[in-house]
Amino acid sequence: MSISFWRSTTMFEGNGPSYISAHSADVILSDIRPIKLKPEGLRAINVLLDEFLAKILSTSSSLVTDKLRASLLSLLPTSLGKEALLEAEVELRAYWERTDPKSVPEDDSQTFHLQWAFSLLRVKCEAYSTLNEGDEDPDAESRVNQMFDRADIQPPKSSLIDPAALYLTAILE
């Protein structure tokens, strides 16, 4: 199922996804040759990244990083996918060095809710992205959780959210 339907029914549609800012895109492209990306082109790139995030989550049906890894490798079994995976593993290792890691990741496959996970991770990946110059909205995560709390659905496991968000942000970048 495409995430496009969900995107059109959420509060985020008005702004669209924003993983990469216009300035960051111009800097990246200027390394190749002087060029400016049109707003439509930037929007297309951000929507592509949004769809890729949705597809990774849809395929993994989990926020456990081992399942996210398997999902990425099934979707992008090329050198690009493997390079993205290496970057994600470096970020995850650094995260576990800064925090108190759990020895065994919790299994969330029975309670995983794709729409909630996507909405939450979209907000977090946009905030964590070094290519997005927007400020983090401290209330965005609360708004997502409030929106789904009303639906009597079990929320994503909090111990899995930050590692998954860092991991997926590294993949998207």
The pair of structure tokens assigned to 92 is 């995850």
CB 141, CB 120: distance < 8 Å: yes
What is the dihedral sign for C-alpha 128, 133, 138, 139? negative
Residue 54 is predicted with a pLDDT of 96
Domain holding 90, by residue range, is 4-172
Residue 28 is predicted with a pLDDT of 66
CB 64, CB 106: distance < 8 Å: yes
Residue whose token pair is 């759990």: 102
Residue 8 is predicted with a pLDDT of 42
pTM: predicted TM-score of the whole model, two decimal places: 0.81
Residue 138 is predicted with a pLDDT of 77
Residue 51 is predicted with a pLDDT of 95
The pair of structure tokens assigned to 165 is 């968000």
Please tell me the total count of domains within the chain.
1
Burial of 114 (0-12, 13-18, 19+ CB in 10 A): middle
The pair of structure tokens assigned to 46 is 């951000």
Residue 114 is predicted with a pLDDT of 94
The domain spanning residue 106 has which CATH number? 1.10.20
Residue whose token pair is 């990306």: 37
- List C-alpha distances in Å: 144 to 88, 119, 138, 156, 159: 25, 7, 11, 11, 17
Residue 58 is predicted with a pLDDT of 96
Residue 104 is predicted with a pLDDT of 59
- Cβ-Cβ contacts under 8 Å for 5 (sequence gap 6 or more): none
Which residue in 59, 71, 23, 100 sits closest to 171, CA to CA?
Answer: 71
pLDDT by position in tens, the chain (length 173)? 444 444 444 434 446 777 766 767 667 666 667 777 788 888 898 899 999 999 999 999 999 999 999 999 999 999 989 999 999 999 999 999 888 766 556 788 888 999 999 999 999 999 998 888 877 787 888 888 888 877 777 888 888 999 999 999 999 99
